[in-house]
A and B are shown apart, each in its own frame.
Chain A
Amino acid sequence: MTTVAPARPTVADPAPAGGFGGLLRAEAHRFVSRRFIRVLLLLAVLGWIGAVLLALTQFGSVTPERLAEARASVQDVVDEQEQFRQQCLDDPTRPAGVDADLQCGPPLQASDLRVEDFLNPRPFSLGEFGTGGAVAVSAATAVLTFLIGATFVGAEWSTRSMVAMLFWEPRRGRVMLAKAAVVAVACVVLGVVAHVAWLATAGGLQSAVGDGAALPDGFWPELLGTQGRGLLLAVLAGLLGFGLTNLTRNTGAALGIGFVYFAVLETAVRALSPIWQPWLLTNDAAGLLVPGGLRLVLDWNPPDGADYNSWSPPEYVLANLQSGIFLCVVTAVVVAAGVGVFARRDLH
């Protein structure tokens, strides 16, 4: 070792812990330096590129030739249908006194069919797929942020550097708050990037292989609203993974609990006690994302003696707001429990 003398403090009073800003800076620095998170993000980018390439093979642009072919196909269907109808009308066994349209169907017009349905591959429709794509992107982002939240704090527990950090900032609540804040901000950034990527992708597909149709009324408010709720879900999923791992102090255990919950418990509840479906996390996630909420059928079995023709299964609509509040409460409880246990327990 060299003989460099350690620098001496220049003040007589003992030095306090650094500020909260320093903690945030350290956590952010660690977050962006983590190899596993970089790998996860790289995989996400590769997945996105793969999805774009796949989409390009599933959709085709509208050319005058393809449009003419589609119109011809429409006309073929109309002609064929008219032929069947005529056979029906000419059938001597057809009961008399029954309305012909009721018996053999009304005449089919070309305008009753959508030409784009006869294009193969069909063109991309931003108006049709924009919001659904945002829902799918939100769900994928939520899975990613759950993993990131879980592994970010899990690495701290597995290396026990969580304990070492307390030599620098003994206020455990602050330490956890800084970590949770970085996870939340990272989830927001990731969500924004994912949704901007979706908009760019959808816009690109619309330009390259789109139907060129005008967007329906209310398209943008619905799409942006869905994306906003998707951002909220990304943050909640990240914090849920963070809180769960903090409680178990082990990433593997947290992911195991998540798997058992989603794959076993939710399946069991749907099969055995569907009345509880509104309280399942995946349903609430869908209820938060889907415009207008999620419509759930709570019971497929009619009661004894019910008239099958008039009975309809009971439905429950999980509204966006209700689902959002439920998910916020669950996340807050899990995170608070993890922080509370961390603040009180002895650390060895």
Chain B
Amino acid sequence: MPAVEMHGVSKTYRRRGRPPQRALDGLDLVVEAGGVHGFLGPNGSGKTTTIRVLLGLIRPDAGEVRLLDRPVPAALPQVIGSVGALVETPLFFPGFSGRLNLRLLADIAGLPYTRVDEVLALVDLTDRAEDRVKGYSLGMKQRLGIAAALLKSPRLLVLDEPSNGLDPAGIRDVRELIRRLGRDGSTTVLLSSHLLVEIEQVCDHVSIMARGRRVVTGPVGQVLASRSSGDVRVRVPHLAEAAAVLTAAGFAVSPADGGLLVHAVPAPGEITRVLAEHGHYLEELTPVTADLESAFLELTAEPA
């Protein structure tokens, strides 16, 4: 059962005195249950609108949305107890302590206050729990926001830029936490981030958005493979002779970084065989894989 399903979802913002702005344009998105699903897109691509539609904050003009197999927004009250969310900046009462802020949320859901202390420990805020939130650093507020999102022990955790404001150790901890939640099998994490490396490190699946549409989705490895060129980097002692051998064997070859770049190679083992037959022995044979950044930039580029 998918944790999130969106089909043909459209949303246009109409503001007085401004031209209509299409934020979502027939968006189709499926996030299967379990694991960590990355949600990528440039600014204005519709990521935040998508998350707000999922959480019932924005009503779409058209399309079908389902969360944990229930239609949204109609049945959102039936599932909201299993959905945790951190959207953009955490929203707390600055004059209240971190603990009191979480206790107010626990009151709403009927959760015991012991759960508050558990999640405070989880994000390492126990020592500062009695301090007022307005004295927290941005990173501490972000951790408190994550604690609030985890308070309900959610089956679906929606995190929008959770690393914002965190120091390197905090970023590492959050990523480890997300990975752990994704691995346990009972939590689905939908992670919206502009940090491509974060998506690449943490996510099992990724969906990339551009101009209000999903342009690609799938396992991260598969998305990268689909964008790979099939190029192979080769290093041998005698570059010029090896280049001649490979060219004669039908490969397209160009020099690159003290080695050779062999283009569109269907089977890299063929390079090894051809060079060895002519007495050239490899020092390096590396398939050139696309990184997520390249894929992202290629997929989200504005059409000419």
Binding site for B on A (CB under 8 A): 1-2, 4-9, 14-19, 21-23, 25-26, 29-30, 33-36, 155, 159-161, 163-171, 346-348
Q: Are A17 and B80 in contact (CB under 8 A)?
A: yes
Partner pick for B80 among A5, A161, A164, A168, CB 8 A cutoff: A168
In Å, the complex CA distance between A166 and B58 comes to 11
Q: Are B79 and A9 in contact (CB under 8 A)?
A: no
Binding site for A on B (CB under 8 A): 13, 52, 55-59, 68-70, 73, 76-85, 87, 90-96, 100, 103-105, 107-110, 115, 118-119, 121-124, 143, 148, 150, 152-153, 155, 170, 173-174, 176-177, 180-181, 184, 186-187
With contacts A4-B118, A155-B93, A160-B91 known, is A18 near B108, CB below 8 A?
Answer: yes
Closest to A15 in B: B81
Can you spell out 21 A-B residue pairs with CB atoms less than 8 angstroms apart? Answer: A1-B122, A1-B170, A1-B177, A2-B124, A6-B119, A8-B153, A9-B186, A14-B69, A14-B78, A14-B82, A16-B78, A17-B80, A26-B104, A29-B107, A33-B96, A159-B91, A160-B91, A164-B91, A166-B55, A347-B52, A347-B58
Q: Are B81 and A30 in contact (CB under 8 A)?
A: no
Q: Are A4 and B81 in contact (CB under 8 A)?
A: no
What's the minimum C-beta distance from A249 to chain B, rounded to whole angstroms?
Answer: 14
Other than the known A1-B170, A18-B81, what 7 A-B pairs have Cβ atoms closer than 8 Å?
A1-B143, A1-B176, A6-B181, A14-B83, A18-B108, A22-B109, A169-B108
Q: Are A2 and B121 in contact (CB under 8 A)?
A: yes
With contacts A14-B70, A347-B57 known, is A167 near B81, CB below 8 A?
Answer: no
Q: Are B58 and A7 in contact (CB under 8 A)?
A: no
What's the minimum C-beta distance from A7 to chain B, rounded to whole angstroms?
Answer: 5
Partner pick for A30 among B78, B80, B93, B177, CB 8 A cutoff: B93
* Chain A neighbourhood of B124, CB < 8 A: 1-2
Question: Most B CB atoms within 10 A — which of A9, A15, A22?
Answer: A15
In Å, the complex CA distance between A28 and B150 comes to 24
Q: Are A163 and B91 in contact (CB under 8 A)?
A: yes
Question: Most A CB atoms within 10 A — which of B78, B109, B155?
Answer: B109
* Chain B neighbourhood of A155, CB < 8 A: 93
Question: Taking chain A's interface residues, is the majority helix, strand, or loop, or is none over half, making it mixed?
Answer: loop
What's the minimum C-beta distance from A17 to chain B, rounded to whole angstroms?
Answer: 5
* Chain B neighbourhood of A347, CB < 8 A: 52, 57-58
* Chain B neighbourhood of A7, CB < 8 A: 115, 118, 153
* Chain A neighbourhood of B105, CB < 8 A: 26, 168
Q: Are A346 and B57 in contact (CB under 8 A)?
A: yes
* Chain B neighbourhood of A169, CB < 8 A: 77, 80, 108
Closest to B80 in A: A17
Question: Most A CB atoms within 10 A — which of B95, B119, B173?
Answer: B95
* Chain A neighbourhood of B78, CB < 8 A: 14, 16-17
* Chain A neighbourhood of B148, CB < 8 A: 164
What's the minimum C-beta distance from B267 to chain A, rounded to whole angstroms?
Answer: 45
With contacts A7-B153, A166-B56, A167-B83 known, is A18 near B110, CB below 8 A?
Answer: yes
Q: Are A16 and B93 in contact (CB under 8 A)?
A: no
Q: Are B103 and A29 in contact (CB under 8 A)?
A: yes
With contacts A8-B186, A166-B55, A169-B80 known, is A15 near B152, CB below 8 A?
Answer: yes
Closest to A174 in B: B77
Q: Are A16 and B77 in contact (CB under 8 A)?
A: yes
Partner pick for A6 among B83, B108, B150, CB 8 A cutoff: B150
* Chain A neighbourhood of B108, CB < 8 A: 17-18, 22-23, 25-26, 165, 168-169
Q: Are A159 and B93 in contact (CB under 8 A)?
A: yes
In Å, the complex CA distance between A169 and B80 comes to 7
Q: Are A16 and B153 in contact (CB under 8 A)?
A: no
Partner pick for A22 among B96, B107, B170, B176, CB 8 A cutoff: B107
* Chain B neighbourhood of A21, CB < 8 A: 110
* Chain B neighbourhood of A348, CB < 8 A: 52, 57-58
Q: Are B57 and A166 in contact (CB under 8 A)?
A: yes
Closest to B73 in A: A170
In Å, the complex CA distance between A1 and B150 comes to 14
Q: Are B80 and A6 in contact (CB under 8 A)?
A: no
* Chain A neighbourhood of B13, CB < 8 A: 346
* Chain B neighbourhood of A5, CB < 8 A: 180, 184
Q: Are A171 and B85 in contact (CB under 8 A)?
A: no
In Å, the complex CA distance between A169 and B55 comes to 10
